[in-house]
Structure 1
Amino acid sequence: MLFALLVLGAVFAFVLHRAFPNLGGIKGGAIVFTVVFLGLVLLIYAGAP
């Protein structure tokens, strides 16, 4: 489950990075990935589907 979230977060960050290259390259992608990953973890702990 956690691995699947990591993959989804990485794919989402990659897609955002390709769609918006002006986010700051790798740094922007890392920030987006961190935000998305933390959001998914919070949703899981909150009991959301």
Structure 2
Amino acid sequence: MFGLGIPEFLIILAILLIIFGAKKLPEIGKGLGKGIKNFKKSLKEEEKESEHQSD
């Protein structure tokens, strides 16, 4: 995981809690998850389009 160990991960998590607060973190995670899902979906659609064009 990018060369991060547990101590580094906990420090990053603590900093995020301080900056955004406990109430905002689930919203940020949900938005990030949706963004990743849409990105993967667009890659699959692009792959299908390129397969159809090459036929």
Normalising by structure 2, we get a TM-score of 0.46
Higher helix fraction (1 or 2): 1
Query: Highest Rg: 1 or 2?
Result: 2
Normalising by structure 1, we get a TM-score of 0.50
